[in-house]
Structure 1
Amino acid sequence: MGKLLAGCYEFIKVLDTDELGHTYLVIDIHLQEHPKCVVKQIRLPPNSSQTRQLILSRLEKTSQLLKKLGQHDQIPRFITSFAQTNQFYLVQEFIPGYPLTDELIPGDPLTENQVITLLQELLNLLVFVHQQGVILGNLKPSTIIRRQGDGKLVLTTWGVIHQLSAQIAQSFHQSAPNPRHPTSVDQSSKPFPEHLQVNGDLYALGIIAIQAMTGLSASELTELKQTNNSQHETSAWQAYTQVSPELAAILEKMVHSDRQNRYHKAASVLADLSGIPESNPITQFSLPSLPEINPAIATITFPTRQFKPQVILAAIALVGITALILAYTLHLPQRLMAQYFLHQGKTQAQQPEVAIQYYTQAIAYQPQNATAYYHRGKIYADRGKSQLALADLSQAIQLNPQNADAYYQRGNLRLELSDRLGAKADYTQVLQRDPNFTPAWVNRGQIQAELGNEKAAIDDYTQAIQLQPNLVTAYLNRCRSRSNLGNQKGAIDDCTTAINLRPHNALAYQNRGLARQRRGDIRGAITDYTVAIQLNPEAAEPYYNRGLTRQEIEDISGAIADYTQAIKRNPNYASAYYERGLAQAQLGNRLAAIKDLQQAAQLCHDLGKLDCYEAAQSQLSRVSVQ
């Protein structure tokens, strides 16, 4: 492919290659914005081929269909089509985002509400597509894009083209005909082969929904059906999830093995989905359609109440029994057993020790199950078992280096353990995998500030604000960092924005007071500190800061009163003792000054703050000789 296609499309890279040709990412250099486009290349048979004109005619008709489909906001806009040097090209707009495959993570199923939302959005799109007389024919997670910006799902439509692939491939054989076997030309003008039906798209969507509900892949669903010799398509999938009877019935009908018993209209599926109550109770987890197994034995479920220790221990013991029953009676593959126990672990949010045992069983069956390590690590972290949590999260990362949240959770844990550099490295890994992970920008910014790199901290907070313009924490932190770098106006603007977003945030007033104080607006600073005190009377810092400000304007008695209030709220506030000691010395209260400075020196010594200790000792020596 040359540098320019059709004189205006500049090649960037190949996105895909299939039996029809290549799919390219290009830019349109003739438009001012140089927008990205996707170009689908289709190889045409030679001019001598009897079917060339027929294929060109059908491609032109398909182009018109794509143009009609592209009128919908959630389908790529069709731009143009053209033929060039035995190739036919279709051009669509480029949709920035990521495929749905990124959300369907093996072993990490979505909730029922999430699946219903997913179904409703895609079904509404299928209603529109089918109304245009189009069948997609290749609906799968990789052909569905989560659009960057608004987060809506977008249907790609290249499957319409692939429905011509068999005829195009045949045409290449016909281009060199065998004289003993005369060729024939299909003059059909039907837009799609007869075997393609609307319920084929609905079947594919049903499989996607079941994948989302269970965390199993399409191949695993097929294997599960074959393993259990089920007479109903994928009915055994219900053993791997919690699902209401209503949704289960809808999904079973979408994927029924008999085409005639499936849904025939997307609107019908939508109507049945609308009948599911929003707060529909989830049925007790069991193993449906699995003969020779008593669901009461094969399932361990708990109501949401506290159990006696001996009951929990008995339940944990039953986990092992459950494993043996399932493994030897059902002869399930090990990875499916692991998925089963992984799901069971997720159902035990109220009984973390039981959940840990389930995750441990999942790991025993599938030692490479990153999701089991990840969830067990999170429970260990919540229960204060830091080293076990670190080990599990690290293993989860090693097995699945693309799990951004595993890095984030490990970063949080390292931050709690005061390993700032380790936490910073983890947050950086998060952002390399998911630049839209706002909390990681904020947390890394805080570490940058603590390490003294205020400029880098500001950059991180700014990224967080661009992603989430109403994020109060990012404005507050950037206010403080800007103030530390001397940009008091920018700091005041940030804190004022935080106050406008959350008027009762005491820290916003306190930080703005600090910026105003540094800018020389003493009255404004005192006003802000006073509001912070009113909003949070138990905090020591606003009293301390107001004391410093009062001392600047020679209100020594007022400053001493504020330092005293700060010490009352935090008896180990070394800086408050130090400043009060200096204020007492200014008033000539030598004994009170010595006592405060001695206390400050002792606290600084105990905290290992050498500079603070030496400063207190120096002032103590000065006051003592007066």
Structure 2
Amino acid sequence: MNVPINLSSFQSQIWQQTKLAQLCGQQKLFHERYEVLRMIGRGGFGVTFLARDVSLPGQPPCVIKQLLPKVSDPSVLAKVRSRFQLEAQMLAKLGNHSQIPMLLDYFVAEGEFYLVQEYVRGVHLVKLVRRCGCLSEKALKSFLNNILPLLDFIHNNGVIHRDIKPQNIICCQDDGRLVLIDFGAVKEVIAQTKDTSDSTTTTHFVGTVGFAPPEQFSLRPTFGSDIFALGVTCLYLLTGKAPLEFSTNPQTGELKWADAVELSDSLAEILGKMLKVSVNKRYKSARAILAALELEPHRTQLANCMVANHQPISDKAGINQEERNLSEFCPPAAKAAITIREWKQRRRRKQQGYHNHIIPSLS
């Protein structure tokens, strides 16, 4: 096998490791239907290529992800193949959502695992921030209201993404929707392989340093792990700074981010809870964050109501002080009822006074 001389050492390594790289720009089809065009991504657990499905009308573009490493042990391959199929089927189910790329195909060939997904035209959020600048508070709320229902959908299907970060969120060129890519569950299947050269099981961390919370490093990710990663993503969108650029509290491990952003107290409190190091102190669900965001515009008004000082009502008003305070926060119908009751009390008092005045004069 002759390696092209015009490749860098990095490209040369990929060319030797992946069959797809060797097919780039060639007439030969992969899996008898895919024309491989170019490499578009490289991570710890796979290489991603842009291809064209020549078997379909219009030869639509697609993305082929070759998962690494290759599994050569037959006994291990059978186990991994079974889990790979289960996870791929779940990914196919999630792909019915408009903000998740559709899974078009998955297969195993010569010990290599492949996923074929819909190609989403657009740019990921890192490029978007570099081109257009950081988000305002208003834009960040819009982002959260857009991405949180998607996260709620994923979690309701029992799936943890494991690798939420700006690079894995694409702003679609066609309609501006946000699309979440590169789910970690399938990668974890490949990562947990047994090396037959010794008796130990090799398990690799799936995620991205800086975005993954402590429990994920312990290989015990939860739904809250995705919430933490989304919180760190928000920090990047607000500041343009990677998570490792923030210092941490040496006692708690919490990121020191408050001085780097300009947010209302209520939104800062929401973001702070998303970023808690302890999973028990974080939001338990995406839906809970959505509820907090919905309440957020009214929190200042509610806080003012809680601490409002009211002038005492004179005894002549004929109404209980507590009832008067409550009336200021009641619906219009309740306020009207209180007003009528006050009027009736004043009228009764006036009639009583008239009665007390008239009766003695007649006696």
TM-score, structure 2 length as denominator?
0.67
Deviation at 1:245, TM superposition (A): 1.1
Q: Do structure 1's residue 127 and structure 2's residue 147 form an aligned pair?
A: no
* Distance in structure 1 (CA, Å) of the matches to 2:235 and 2:202: 41
* Distance in structure 1 (CA, Å) of the matches to 2:261 and 2:174: 31
CA 1:39–1:149: 2 relative to 1, 3 Å: same
- Residues 148 and 286 of structure 2 are in contact (CA less than 8 Å); yes or no, is this contact kept in structure 1? yes
* Distance in structure 1 (CA, Å) of the matches to 2:202 and 2:263: 50
Greater relative CO, 1 or 2 (CA 8 Å, sep 6+): 2
CA 1:126–1:88: 2 relative to 1, 3 Å: same
Deviation at 1:83, TM superposition (A): 1.6
Aligned with 2:100: secondary structure? coil
* Distance in structure 2 (CA, Å) of the matches to 1:230 and 1:213: 25
Q: What is the aligned partner in structure 1 of residue 51 from structure 2?
A: 26
Higher-Rg structure is 1
- Residues 206 and 255 of structure 1 are in contact (CA less than 8 Å); yes or no, is this contact kept in structure 2? yes
Q: What is the aligned partner in structure 1 of residue 238 from structure 2?
A: 213
1:76 to 101, 121, 128: 101
Q: What is the aligned partner in structure 1 of residue 269 from structure 2?
A: 249
Aligned with 1:133: secondary structure? coil
Aligned with 1:277: secondary structure? helix
* Distance in structure 2 (CA, Å) of the matches to 1:107 and 1:70: 29
Q: What is the aligned partner in structure 1 of residue 248 from structure 2?
A: 225
Q: Do structure 1's residue 152 and structure 2's residue 173 form an aligned pair?
A: no
**Per-residue deviation, residues 260-316 of structure 1 (Å, max 9, x unmatched):** 1111111001110111118979xxxxxxxxxxxxxxxxxxxxxxxxxxxxxxxxxxx
Aligned with 1:119: secondary structure? helix
- Residues 99 and 141 of structure 1 are in contact (CA less than 8 Å); yes or no, is this contact kept in structure 2? yes
Aligned with 1:125: secondary structure? helix
Deviation at 1:51, TM superposition (A): 1.5
- Residues 247 and 276 of structure 1 are in contact (CA less than 8 Å); yes or no, is this contact kept in structure 2? yes
* Distance in structure 1 (CA, Å) of the matches to 2:100 and 2:77: 29
Q: What is the aligned partner in structure 2 of residue 85 from structure 1?
A: 110
Aligned with 1:30: secondary structure? coil
Q: What is the aligned partner in structure 1 of residue 257 from structure 2?
A: 237
Q: What is the aligned partner in structure 2 of residue 267 from structure 1?
A: 287
1:10 to 35, 42, 54: 35
RMSD over equivalenced CA pairs, Å:
2.6
- Residues 50 and 185 of structure 1 are in contact (CA less than 8 Å); yes or no, is this contact kept in structure 2? no
Q: What is the aligned partner in structure 2 of residue 167 from structure 1?
A: 192
* Distance in structure 2 (CA, Å) of the matches to 1:162 and 1:260: 27
* Code of the aligned partner of 1:4: L
Q: How does 1:49-448 map to 2 (within 5 A)?
A: 49-105=74-130, 108-168=133-193, 171=194, 173-174=195-196, 177-178=197-198, 181=199, 195-221=220-246, 224-225=247-248, 229=250, 231=252, 233-234=254-255, 236-277=256-297
User: Kindly, what percent of the aligned residue pairs are identical?
Assistant: 31
* Code of the aligned partner of 2:93: K
Aligned with 2:296: secondary structure? coil
CA 1:272–1:251: 2 relative to 1, 3 Å: same
CA 1:106–1:206: 2 relative to 1, 3 Å: farther
Aligned with 2:174: secondary structure? coil
CA 1:68–1:134: 2 relative to 1, 3 Å: same
* Distance in structure 1 (CA, Å) of the matches to 2:273 and 2:131: 24
Deviation at 1:49, TM superposition (A): 3.8
- Residues 52 and 62 of structure 2 are in contact (CA less than 8 Å); yes or no, is this contact kept in structure 1? yes
Q: What is the aligned partner in structure 2 of residue 37 from structure 1?
A: 62
Aligned with 2:226: secondary structure? helix
Deviation at 1:81, TM superposition (A): 0.8
TM-score, structure 1 length as denominator?
0.39
CA 1:253–1:60: 2 relative to 1, 3 Å: same
* Distance in structure 1 (CA, Å) of the matches to 2:75 and 2:153: 35
* Distance in structure 2 (CA, Å) of the matches to 1:77 and 1:259: 31
CA 1:19–1:248: 2 relative to 1, 3 Å: closer
Aligned with 2:123: secondary structure? strand
- Residues 75 and 157 of structure 1 are in contact (CA less than 8 Å); yes or no, is this contact kept in structure 2? no
Aligned with 2:75: secondary structure? coil
**Per-residue deviation, residues 82-102 of structure 1 (Å, max 9, x unmatched):** 121221211100000000112
Aligned with 2:129: secondary structure? coil
- Residues 214 and 237 of structure 1 are in contact (CA less than 8 Å); yes or no, is this contact kept in structure 2? no
